Amino acid sequence: MKVLIKTSIIGKVNKQGFTLVEILLVIILIGVVLVLAVPSIRDVLTGDNLKKASRQFIAMERKLHVEAVRDQITYILCIDLPNSAYWVITSDMTPEKQDEIKKRPLHLPSDVVIMDIVDENNQKTSVGEARLYFGKKNICSPAIIHLAYEEDRMTIVINPFLGVTDIYDKYVDISMSGSGQYIPR
């Protein structure tokens, strides 16, 4: 089906419009692109809660490293495992001030659970509160943080000796060796 219009100015016949086949082809191509793009766009817009949580921990770890050296004070990252919450205190705060800050913790994205934290002594904590120390001489507590969101798992390894934080998209059972290096179990 074609639409033809005769122009009166130059007397030529111009084809104006598209055939039904051309329109259907464009609609099908748009549909295919949307089917392929929607899952990726959805993840970007809604965000992966587990990745958001790991970015929160990494950003906090880097921030506390810098602030501890800059302010010449020890910062303590307190992590409430059952509530997936955390807050920051300093070593020179009064107990009253620490309790006040503890009442207003920051929370991980919804439904993200802190499964456990392994400290420098290979002690695994899965209930209660864990603390990571960031010293004024750029020394921090090594730690392994295991996060979960629905069926997904993530492992964050804070390694103060190398100055890097590693992330694994699964639960990785790692321990601290006597030489200060992390080794898989």
Q: Distance (Å, rounded) from C-alpha 53 to C-alpha 108? A: 6
Burial of 67 (0-12, 13-18, 19+ CB in 10 A): middle
Structure tokens at 71: 């302010």
- Other C-beta atoms closer than 10 Å to the C-beta of 41 total 10
pTM of the entire structure? 0.69
Per residue in 36-76, pLDDT tens? 877 766 655 555 888 888 888 888 888 988 898 899 999 99
Structure token pair of residue 65: 């490293």
86 neighbors 106 (Cβ within 8 angstroms): yes
Q: Class for domain 49-184, per CATH? A: alpha beta
Q: Where are the domains of the chain?
A: 4-46, 49-184
Q: What is the dihedral of CA 39, 40, 41, 43, to 10 degrees?
A: 80
Looking at residue 15, its pLDDT comes to 65
Task: Compute the distance between CA of residue 161 and CA of residue 36 in angstroms, rounded to an integer.
Answer: 43
- Residue 109 in 3-state DSSP? coil
Higher-pLDDT residue of 141 and 184 is 141
Tokens linked to 85: 């919450």
Between 4 and 74, the more confident residue is: 74
* Cβ-contact 145, 57 below 8 angstroms: yes
Question: Among all chains, which residue has been given the structure tokens 């033809």?
Answer: 4
Query: What digits encode the pLDDT tens for the residues 97-113?
Result: 999 999 999 999 888 99
* Of 184, 165, 164, 166, the residue nearest 174 (C-alpha): 184
